Structure 1
Amino acid sequence: MSSSCVTAREREVFELALRGYTNARIATDVHVSLPTVKSHIKSILRKLGLKGRKDIPISRLWDKYIGDSAGLANLVL
């Protein structure tokens, strides 16, 4: 897979998804439509090489991308 950067909005949506927010709640919180949230999640899962949310190893990703001091700002795939 070629390297591609995760956008700032994808980072924001991904962080909320990792916290267990529903797509509807993410849409409300970041002031975008539900289809936009779904698009962002689909894009970032594709960049991570995952098929769906159930494939996200929550604790490992949380520790790696959110639990550290850099957070998702350094997520480049």
Structure 2
Amino acid sequence: MTSRSAQEFITIIRLNKASEMLHGERLAVGEIAFMVGYADSISFGRDFQKQFGLTTKKYSSQGRSASL
């Protein structure tokens, strides 16, 4: 149904959930990474930046300023 592998699809779902958490909750990036299934925040950060084009810090601050 999609051109993506199952692993890629799961990663996208995890990262989308993490993006919601970065906007809505005041948790550390490492905590969010763990909650969405990453063993370490380094691989999480790398995958997040690849998916969204921003670091988690920039993404988080962008969301906070947009909602103010």
TM score, norm. by length of structure 1:
0.43
Please identify which structure carries the higher helix content.
2
TM score, norm. by length of structure 2:
0.46
